[in-house]
Structure 1
Amino acid sequence: MAGGAIQGLGMGLFLFPHSIPSGGAGGITVLLNHWFNIGMGQALWIVNFTLLFVGIHYLGKRFAIWTVIAITMTSLSVVFFEQFSIPNRNLLYDLIFGSVFLGTGIGLLLRQGVSNGGIGVVALIISTRRKILPGRPLFLINIIIFMFTAVIVDWKLIFLALISQWISTVVVDLVCQVSFQQSYSLNWRKKP
């Protein structure tokens, strides 16, 4: 739940005010809207539902339940944080802070075998099967989707989205690598 809330903070408070896409599912949603004139909310639901169904097949029911909880928590926190406004916004600061929070939230979710929805499902399947960190497949898949979307729809915000993806996926891998065991263990002192 913390991962979903932190991800929502990055998106709702820092990235979405500048219309910076936060992932590949958003890119696919834009394409569905462009090609088939499907509403954005409905298209996003179709993308997430389809990828969630694929995830259930490869990763199991526990994955599906917690992914639905994570997606719900992210959505609620986006709605909550969109209400706040930062005076004198700076695009560069918002891009960096939003990407770090986004990556931290996604990393916490992926670390627990839970997806943030969308392309995170595919990245988790690849990282589980290949025994690699999830950041690299997440970044590569999102880049391909962003480039394809840019060619079809518009190039304007794709560069910011690519920078955001690079920062957030580096943070995802850092969060997945760091050992938090001693930081929350009651047995932090060694006995002589």
Structure 2
Amino acid sequence: MKPFIKKCGLVLTGGALQGFGMGVFLFPQDIPSGGAGGIAILLNHWFEMGMGPSLWIVNFTMLTLGVQYLGKRFALWTFVGITMTSLAVDFFESTFPIVHRHLLLDLVIGSVFLGTGIGILMRQGVSNGGVGVIAFMISHGRNILPGKPLFLINTTIFIVTAAVISWEIVILALVSQWISTSKVDLVYRLKLYHVYTLSWHKKT
């Protein structure tokens, strides 16, 4: 029971940290937090949906694509993570408004929190949702760190999002992804605590 509680705590912490980075620093500057964030910004732009619900819809849709490959246990933990993230985005957006903003500070601080949260989730064998599910599948299938495939997939979505909204966000989004995915790989390498994981495997 104790390892299970520890895993729950870390998954919730990872989701809250990335939600904090998104809701307080990145989304107010219209900087996509990732591929799912880019799609969520498009939903917000087209349908005026809140960023929290938009992000959850995108993440849940992507998650359904990975259930058959990664298994129901993986999907369940990822569902917990993406739900916590969306709740955190809504909470922090409304609770911690910043009056005097600085674009570069928001970019760096938000990206560090984002990458830390994602790294904690992936250390637990949990995806951050969205295209992270696909990146997680590639990472384990090819035995590579998850930051690189996450960066490549997100970059493609950024270009599409920028073409619809504004090309100015591309550079900011790419810098954010470089910082956050570097942080993902750094946290993923850490061996400061024992990781309790529910086993997952490719279904036959």
Residue in 1 that maps onto 2:70: 59
Cα distance per residue 1:72-113 (max 9 Å; x no partner): 111121122112123422111111010000000001111111
For these two proteins, the number of residue pairs brought into alignment is 180
Between the two proteins, what is the percent identity of the paired residues? 64
1:102 partner letter: L
TM-score, normalised to structure 2's length? 0.79
Residue in 2 that maps onto 1:18: 29
**Separation of aligned partners in 2, 1:45 and 1:113:** 20
**Separation of aligned partners in 2, 1:95 and 1:85:** 15
How far 1:127 sits from its partner (Å)? 0.3
- Aligned CA RMSD, in angstroms, stands at 2.2
Larger Rg: 1
Cα distance per residue 1:119-175 (max 9 Å; x no partner): 110000000101111000000110111113223442122211111111000000000
Stretch deviating more after TM superposition (134-143 or 146-155): 146-155
How far 1:49 sits from its partner (Å)? 3.2
Residue in 1 that maps onto 2:191: 179
User: Could you list the runs of 4 or more consecutive aligned residues of structure 1 that deviate by over 6 angstroms after TM superposition?
Assistant: none
How far 1:57 sits from its partner (Å)? 1.1
Cα distance per residue 1:27-74 (max 9 Å; x no partner): 34556788xx66656875553333211211111111111111111111
1:19 partner letter: D
SS of equivalent residue, structure 1 residue 158: helix
2:187 partner letter: V
Q: Gapped runs of 5+ residues in structure 1?
A: 183-192
Q: Gapped runs of 5+ residues in structure 2?
A: 1-11, 195-204
**Separation of aligned partners in 1, 2:61 and 2:90:** 24
TM-score, normalised to structure 1's length? 0.84
